[in-house]
Amino acid sequence: MLDVENLAAGYGRVQVLWDVSLQVQRHEIVALIGPNGAGKTTLLRALSGIIPVAGGTVRLHGKPINGRSVEDIAYRGVTHVPEGRRLFAGLTVRENLLLGAWRRRDKNLEPVLELFPNLRGRLNQVAGSMSGGEQQMCAIARGLMSQPALMMIDELSLGLAPKVVEEIMQRLPDIAASGTAILVVEQDVDAALTVAERAYVLENGHITMDGQAASLLADPKIRMAYLGVA
């Protein structure tokens, strides 16, 4: 469904991503891991059109989308949950969710409230007053309101306790099953490789490893570099 071939991107003359190829299939959860500064956020930005693609091809459902605007790419079904969540802190949870439904005529909140029942009792609460975990749930729920084909989540676990990360990660398979594939960038490599089916490792702007998440989780190189265990 998402097919990235030999992508190059960066900021001005500084190239950050080199020859990046990756795929995400329908109903799939794919993790993108790698050290700080590897270019993970940059890759999500290039895929969602925030920064230009300097080379290579990005296809969604077989159609090239590189060079298209952020709005157009979002309209075609790609949602980006950015690092730090970017909720409208002064608006209520309901208002944040409804803003996520911009591309739909029916603004039914029910399906996302079924995925995140914690939000049901908080619809009238101002988003900025919720806990970090609740805010991340709200950001993901907002992203789902447009019924995207692909949701890209940057640093799902940022600033959250392991138990909260686990709780949110456990929602991802239901989201994928409901028809939204997920590309998740994650520092919590253990959690990411546990929930994902496949994963890519990005280092210095290059994809250096990829494969089934379970086999990467068992790989000694990954265990040493990202889990600190042999």
Residues binding ligand ATP: number (CB under 6 A): 11
- Residues paired with residue 198 on neighbouring β-strands, in sequence order: 30, 212
Contact 69, 49 (CB under 8 A): yes
Q: Is 41 in the site for ligand ATP (CB under 6 A)?
A: yes
Tell me the C-alpha distance between 52 and 63, whole Å: 17
Taking CA 98 as the corner, what is the angle to CA 92 and CA 103, rounded to the nearest 5 degrees?
155
> In this chain, which stretch among 35-43, 99-107, 143-151, 168-176 interacts with ligand ATP, using CB under 6 A?
35-43
Q: Rounded to whole angstroms, what are the CA distances from 111 to 18, 66, 181, 196, 209?
A: 39, 31, 16, 22, 36
Q: Is 11 in the site for ligand ATP (CB under 6 A)?
A: yes
Choice between 39 and 100, CB closer to ligand ATP: 39
> In this chain, which stretch among 38-46, 60-68, 111-119, 174-182 interacts with ligand ATP, using CB under 6 A?
38-46
- Of the candidate residues 16, 87, 112, 119, the single one contacting ligand ATP (CB under 6 A): 16
The H or E element containing residue 3 is strand 2-11
The CB-of-65 to ligand ATP minimum distance in angstroms stands at 20
Q: Is 153 in the site for ligand ATP (CB under 6 A)?
A: no
Residues that bind ligand ATP in the complex, under the rule CB under 6 A: 11, 14, 16, 34, 36-42
